[in-house]
Structure 1
Amino acid sequence: MPDLFPLSRRALVGGLSLSPFILTSARAQTLGFTDYPFTLGVCAGDPAVDGFVLWTRLAPRPFEPQYGMPMKPVAVDWEVAEDEGFHKPVAKGTEIARPELGHAIHAEVAGLKPGRSYWYRFHCAGQKSLTGRAATLPALGASVERVRFAAVGCQHYEAGWYTAFRHAAQEDLDFFFHYGDFIYEYSPGFALDAHHQPVDPVRRYLGAEPFSLDAYRLRYAQTALDTDLQAARAAHPWFCTYDDHEVQNNWAGEWDQNGTPPELFITRRRMALQAWYEHMPVRRSTMARDGTVDFHQRADYGDLLRLHLPNTRLYRSDQPCGDNYQLVCAAQVSPSAQMINPEQESWLNAGFAQSHQRWQGLAQQVMMCPLDRRGPDDKQTAPTYNMDSWAGYQAQRERLFGLFGRSRNVVVVTGDEHENYANDLMVGEKVVASEFVSTSITSGGDGHDLRPGIERWMADNPFLKWTNDRRGYVVSEITAASWIGHYRTVDAVSRRDMPIKTAASWAVEAGKPGLVRA
């Protein structure tokens, strides 16, 4: 039986305050609901120099039809302060939670001071949300000594407990980068290990595979009720992106993996991405008037870091060569194949060229390193690539590697692989950038220190410096001298409350391309 309302029994970590549940009030009854409305927690995201987005979603009974809400607009107040006790308030406002968007709130706060922390909370019907922490970006051109962020994602609910999120909430971070797969669309009970073999789920999704907006909302609600995730969502601001499982495994642009007619798949995609928007702390402009939900953005941390976040799913051409692990075919090297659209490619070129920051970071969804995936018993001489990664889009990848080579101090941060990797990205014999691939929060199950059979990959790919098959996240620690990736792992997600450790740390030194042990 799932832990339906864990907040009533478990305290959040990291000093985050939780108001007592007030289950009845005259005002709540007048509005048409009587249970605590903030069951899904709070989050801040998309920080700017003078503000950020505040998110919550009203869902007193998130598993019921209409999730315990009246089908009418409801006013929600928010407040921001310079201290956790709200003795120094600096901003407040009211947003309307509308049923068309699942009674989600995206409050865009502006007019704040740059480069500092703030605390926020919501009020509705005489009840308070828990308190969250947000932060603004440093002033343009400001001198910044250090930036520290965690790359998180691939959090299949059925594959394990979100213990890594609880540890991440306690890290000293400037922000989270979520690289996607906040939910999984699989049918309940469909949990896989690192070899894509079925395993018993640790916990189960409610409902069938989602094809409707309400079904996707149910997946997000069940996921967002997890208190370890709520702790992380409230602890630091987030930059959020989506990958494939928010819609369907390995979708690309207008194509799904089952050959569904594009006009029908686009209908499903629109509902799935609306549900993503409803549950993420992103700006209202993310959802266009035609229902398209898109993102690509950059964030400048003073003179130290420019971080670019592209969208590698929405405009992607169909995976070449039959998708998944395949031998090279003509479509893989086609100049027309694209992972990102021309607009984003031009945007990246301009963003790199115009940057005066010490470091260029590319935070994105799928591996850039062209890893030869032949197995230990594979006798073929030609390499095998994952066509759902940048290896399937060789021409555009080579153009980006050329951009990296014309730039300085470039680091790519990636997810998707359900395994940790430390890679150098090369043009011929020249290292042009390095890539920190963050493992999953839960997807793939407990894992191993080394995935069985990985020795062949290490031998065939000299630019692969290190790998590890545990769950967790990567913390990037950036200073003027170096960018260090700390690979933080837990030994099991099938059991709760496992300790966190640093499995390895790898560094790129400024002005010296290539990974070294830290």
Structure 2
Amino acid sequence: MNADLRPAAGLARRRFLTLTGAATAVAFGANLPGSASAYRGGGRLDADPFTLGVASGDPLPDAVVIWTRLAPRPFEPLGGAPYRPVEVEWQVADDERFRRVVRAGRAQARPEYSHSVHVDVRGLRPGRHYWYRFKAGGYLSPTGRTRTAPAAGQRVDRLTIAMGSCQSWPDGYYTAHRHLAAEDVDAVVFLGDYLYEYGIAAAGGLRAVTDPVPSQFRTEADTLDRYRLQYALYKSDPDLQAAHAAAPWIVTWDDHEVQDNYAGEVSKSNAPVLDFLVRRANAYRAYWEHMPLRAPAPRGPNYMLYRRLTFGRLAEINVLDTRQYRSDQASGDGWRADSDARRDPGRSLAGAQQERWLLDGLTGSHATWNLLANQVIMSRMDLDPTPADLYNMDAWDGYAAQQRRLLDGLAAQRHRNPVVLTGDVHAAYAMDMKTDFADPGSTSFGVELVATSISSGGNGTDVSATGRAFLAANPHLKLVDERRGYTVLRLTEGEMRVDYRAVPYIDRTGAPVATVASFVVEAGNPGLNPVGQEATR
């Protein structure tokens, strides 16, 4: 198999040995990677099971989730592991050589969860880096680095967060993730479309593999096994593994984790509801299996994904779910003129319960910065620069009544510095949020920052004709850049600096990264202030 498809076990193992050196044999016994001792429950692991890397997520002041999945042959059913529970040992240390192990234990990798492991490590100290690793059947995993959140109520000097979205595997290489892994961030917020459900051609798309992509990837994902297979391919990428191993991730989904532009119980093809809910249950289960999320796993077609994470008194992150509870799109899911259906007060994008949870949480927040990790554009976005209007029915604009209530709620909390983080559109946008988007002179009450895609859309360009039309029709929009990359936020009590980072190509490896635009937002004074451009790395 071509190296582009083969899980990077060798690379991961070399990285692990570089980090830990000879301390591995002392800490975990004499069995180093490459051995194949028996595991409890019978049977043997006959190859390195850590081909999909490690990850951590959802940091609390005293806890973090650490994750892995045992998959010695990831493109086989159950990742090539036998249908038996496997005991996995784990360690967390406050040094990268594991000389000071602070927590350790055993977990069961169970076949009904595709041998995934989610350990909610408790009793950690707030605002600290930790290193973690796993062992199963004599094999050692790569080492991951994570960080706990600061203590509740603690004053925090600074917080650095990266945000990204949309990483279609056949659309190109994950070079952006390789650079993101080197940014030394406190957390990564991933805003959806972690994978795409589509079948993958033998040629591998822009990755242009020399060995064909295996035939089991031709069909669209809709069963549990097929979604698991898609995750195995995506997570075998060494650059994605590096980004996961570098910092804790805070994740939410959009549509492609299930099906393009699905809405609640309504599929894109208007399949029978019960049939689609079976597919949604499969997709949600596979998503949880492959993300560093806390237990319990989804049961059936529902999963409570929205949640709130606090970073001392500096920041709070409200993680939204705008897919599971939404009404069907008005007039289809494309760009449409204004209509009564778009403004129907009975239609909802986030559901009434999530709306109340979000607005109540903002009212009660004591954080300087209040971030909303959100999938689709929340601000008004008109595609037509003439007096006519064209709105995206799959974004908040397609749900105008709830959009207005939420924007009014954010405007009422202007002093809490609301910042909306968005993905979905495969372009970097920066915009001021206005009390009246039709009036450029109206009050700004927050900012919306849209991260471009990691790979979806291919190489991209700086600004296309569509991007220029957006700029002409939306004076609150301060940036459009359609290259691939990610965004870095640096928060202090006084300001937030935003750096949009992009690579010039992804159809081959080795692209450099550059800051293509930067802005500063002053605390208590909502609005984007452009700053100078930085050098390429």
TM-score, length-scaled by structure 2: 0.90
1:423 aligns with 2:431: yes
* Residue in structure 1 matching 2:232, options 197, 207, 221: 221
1:70 aligns with 2:82: yes
Cα distance in 2 between the residues matched to 1:14 and 1:461: 52
1:463 aligns with 2:476: yes
Cα distance in 2 between the residues matched to 1:489 and 1:463: 22
Q: C-alpha displacement at 1:381, in angstroms?
A: 4.6
Cα displacement string for residues 326-357 of structure 1 (whole angstroms, at most 9, x for unaligned residues): 11221111111111111111111111111111
Cα distance in 1 between the residues matched to 2:445 and 2:471: 20
1:297 aligns with 2:307: yes
Paired residues of 1:12 and 1:228 also in contact (CA < 8 A):
no
Cα displacement string for residues 309-340 of structure 1 (whole angstroms, at most 9, x for unaligned residues): 11111001111121111112211111111111
* Residue in structure 2 matching 1:188, options 200, 213, 228: 200
Cα distance in 1 between the residues matched to 2:418 and 2:11: 45
> In 2 relative to 1, CA 274–29 (structure 1 residues): closer, same or farther, beyond 3 Å?
closer
Q: What amino acid does structure 1 have at the position aligned with 2:260?
A: N
Paired residues of 2:41 and 2:85 also in contact (CA < 8 A):
no
Cα distance in 2 between the residues matched to 1:119 and 1:15: 14
Q: C-alpha displacement at 1:85, in angstroms?
A: 0.7
Aligned position for 1:196 = none
Cα distance in 2 between the residues matched to 1:159 and 1:459: 29
Bigger shift: 201-210 or 303-312?
Answer: 201-210
Q: What amino acid does structure 2 have at the position aligned with 1:424?
A: D
Paired residues of 1:325 and 1:386 also in contact (CA < 8 A):
yes
| Residue segments in structure 1 that go unaligned for 5+ positions in a row | 193-198
Q: C-alpha displacement at 1:32, in angstroms?
A: 3.2
Q: C-alpha displacement at 1:374, in angstroms?
A: 3.0
Aligned position for 1:411 = 419
1:356 aligns with 2:366: yes
Aligned position for 2:181 = 169
Cα distance in 2 between the residues matched to 1:186 and 1:162: 18
* Residue in structure 1 matching 2:250, options 220, 231, 239: 239
Cα distance in 1 between the residues matched to 2:487 and 2:171: 19
> In 2 relative to 1, CA 345–9 (structure 1 residues): closer, same or farther, beyond 3 Å?
closer
Cα displacement string for residues 120-140 of structure 1 (whole angstroms, at most 9, x for unaligned residues): 100111111011011111111
Cα distance in 2 between the residues matched to 1:14 and 1:129: 10
Cα distance in 1 between the residues matched to 2:480 and 2:397: 18
Cα distance in 2 between the residues matched to 1:17 and 1:225: 22
Equivalences for residues 415-454 of structure 1 within 5 A: 415-428=423-436, 429-454=442-467
1:260 aligns with 2:262: no
Q: C-alpha displacement at 1:299, in angstroms?
A: 1.2
Please tell me the root mean square deviation across aligned C-alpha atoms, in Å: 2.2
Paired residues of 1:13 and 1:170 also in contact (CA < 8 A):
no
Q: C-alpha displacement at 1:28, in angstroms?
A: 8.5
Question: SS at 2:112's partner residue?
Answer: helix
1:493 aligns with 2:506: yes
Cα distance in 1 between the residues matched to 2:255 and 2:513: 28
Aligned position for 2:337 = 327
1:80 aligns with 2:92: yes
Q: What amino acid does structure 1 have at the position aligned with 2:10?
A: S
Cα distance in 2 between the residues matched to 1:47 and 1:188: 34
Q: What amino acid does structure 2 have at the position aligned with 1:222?
A: L
Q: C-alpha displacement at 1:382, in angstroms?
A: 2.2
Cα displacement string for residues 238-291 of structure 1 (whole angstroms, at most 9, x for unaligned residues): 101111111110011001111111111111011011111100000113x34445
Aligned position for 2:439 = none
Q: C-alpha displacement at 1:187, in angstroms?
A: 2.3
Aligned position for 2:534 = none
* Residue in structure 2 matching 1:130, options 125, 138, 142: 142
Paired residues of 2:193 and 2:256 also in contact (CA < 8 A):
yes
Q: C-alpha displacement at 1:455, in angstroms?
A: 2.3
Question: SS at 2:447's partner residue?
Answer: strand
Bigger shift: 337-346 or 452-461?
Answer: 452-461
Bigger shift: 162-171 or 27-36?
Answer: 27-36
Question: SS at 2:402's partner residue?
Answer: helix
How many residues align? The count is 507
Q: What amino acid does structure 2 have at the position aligned with 1:96?
A: Q
> In 2 relative to 1, CA 17–403 (structure 1 residues): closer, same or farther, beyond 3 Å?
farther
* Residue in structure 2 matching 1:277, options 280, 284, 288: 288
| Residue segments in structure 2 that go unaligned for 5+ positions in a row | 25-31, 437-441, 532-537
Cα distance in 1 between the residues matched to 2:505 and 2:181: 18
Aligned position for 1:367 = 377
Q: C-alpha displacement at 1:402, in angstroms?
A: 1.1
> In 2 relative to 1, CA 289–246 (structure 1 residues): closer, same or farther, beyond 3 Å?
closer
Aligned position for 2:64 = 52
Q: What amino acid does structure 2 have at the position aligned with 1:418?
A: H
Cα distance in 1 between the residues matched to 2:40 and 2:488: 42
Question: SS at 1:219's partner residue?
Answer: helix
> In 2 relative to 1, CA 470–405 (structure 1 residues): closer, same or farther, beyond 3 Å?
same
1:142 aligns with 2:154: yes
> In 2 relative to 1, CA 190–150 (structure 1 residues): closer, same or farther, beyond 3 Å?
farther
TM-score, length-scaled by structure 1: 0.93
